[in-house]
Structure formats: structure tokens, C-alpha cells
Amino acid sequence: MSVVNISCYKFVTLDDREALRAGLKARCDALDLKGTILLAPEGINVFLAGSRAAIDAIVAHLRADPRFADLVPKESLSAAPPFRKMRVRLKKEIITMKMPLIRPEAGRAPTVAAARLKQWLDRGVDDEGRPVVMLDTRNDYEVAAGSFEGAIDYGIGVFSEFPPRLAAHRGDFAGKTVVSFCTGGIRCEKAAIHMRQIGVERVYQLEGGILKYFEEVGGAHYRGDCFVFDEREALAADLQPAAGRIHR
């Protein structure tokens, strides 16, 4: 497999998005990359595929901008690019929640790394002995591909449905440690901030999402595959395209 696929994001104020879009599109085209970059006032979200050299070059290009210097892409390999075009798009949000007061740049919710989460799930409790609840913040068709064992999900069709569903179940988390998770970290980061804002006491976000968990500890406590928004459609715990295809 010769194609390197990366995904990464960062919540950071972008007030030069038109110029940024033009520069990134030109650089990606020159490197023959395929994929999508989303630019919003709240930050950047990147999904790209290309040769090893091209991916290393675009990551270096991004990190040369001080705002993106700490980007840490998640990687997987495939036999062919899972994208047909190269697009750099301007959006209102890099993930649509319709909660404008949630600004991750101003302060993140606490994170839990994959290895530590696995330890918690092995024991069933966190380091302080609290029961651990996994909360899936993804849409219903993504959850259908696979999720953590016993995870709670609200059967949402779009992420903007998450806040009202959560509000109806806020009391379910009393005395427990809640770990929000999603594919790559972006949705569960917003979700964790929102949970803290509405008074859920012990909330963590899974650092790097399911894909980073797969990369660092494999598929322990996870059942099925992870839906991805490209032509591979789902990845197994070894980060290879899943055998069965998932259709939305």
C-alpha cells in the first residue's frame, strides 16, 4: 500500500481564510494530493491522501504557519487514494453543532490518552474508582459500523441534535466518569466542552478519537469498524479498509 492518508484538525481563530484557501489549494495541487481541507472562523480540519513525500511536504507546509505548528496527523495506508478530488472549502464551523458559545480555542475539556483509557476499560473504573461511561458523539450511521462495548449513543442523524438529546439524559452521568469519543477527536472535543458547560461533573474526551485509539492500542474494548468519510467507508482496528462496506 503506497498511499498515505492523514487527518488532523485544530481549533484556532482564522481571519484570513480566503488567502489561506488559495495558498493551500495551490500547494496541494502541486503535490498531487487528494482530499478535503475545511476552513472556518473556529479552525481547520484536514483529510488528505498522497505519496509519503507529498504528505510530509504538506504537513511541513502547514506547520510552518505558527497557528498550525502543533498539528499531529493521524495516519493510515491504502492501495489507492480514497478521494477523487482536492477541495479546500470555507465553512461556518469545521463541525456543525450550532452552539456558537462553544469555543474550544478558549479552553479544552480534559483529555484521556488511548493507553490510559484502555486501563480504565480493563478495570471498568477510572483511577479514582468511578464507573467509566463511554459516550459516542457520532451520527447513527457511523455508530452502526462499530463502537466501544456498552457505549451510549443517542441515535442522532446530525451533530446539532446532540445538545438537546444530552440535556434529556444529563442526570444519567451522576457519580460517573464520562469519556466522549468520535472518529478523530473533533466532535467529542466540542461535546465534552458542552457537557462541562451544562454541569456534567466528570468529563474527558478521547485524545485523537477512535483512529488514534486504534493506532496506539488496537481494537481492545471496541466492536466492529470505524466509519470514515472517504471512499474506504470504514477502517478495521488495524487501520486497514474493512472487508464489509458500510452504506449511508
Catalytic machinery residues: 182
Answer left, alpha or beta for residue 150, where phi above 0 means left and psi between -120 and 50 means alpha.
Answer: left
Backbone angles phi, psi at 42, to 5 degrees: -90, -10
- Alpha helix (H) ranges present in the chain? 17-30, 52-63, 114-123, 140-143, 162-168, 186-197, 209-217
Helix 17-30 vs helix 52-63: crossing angle, to nearest 10: 160
Helix 209-217 vs helix 114-123: crossing angle, to nearest 10: 80
Question: For residues 72 and 155, what is the distance between their CA atoms, to the nearest angstrom?
Answer: 30
**Residue 115, all three cell numbers:** 493507553
65 CB neighbour count, 10 Å cutoff: 14
> What is the Cα 176 distance to its own chain's centre?
23
- Alpha helix (H) ranges present in 101-224? 114-123, 140-143, 162-168, 186-197, 209-217
- For CA atoms 220, 221, 224, 228, give the dihedral sign: negative
Angle CA(94)–CA(161)–CA(191) in degrees, nearest 5?
55
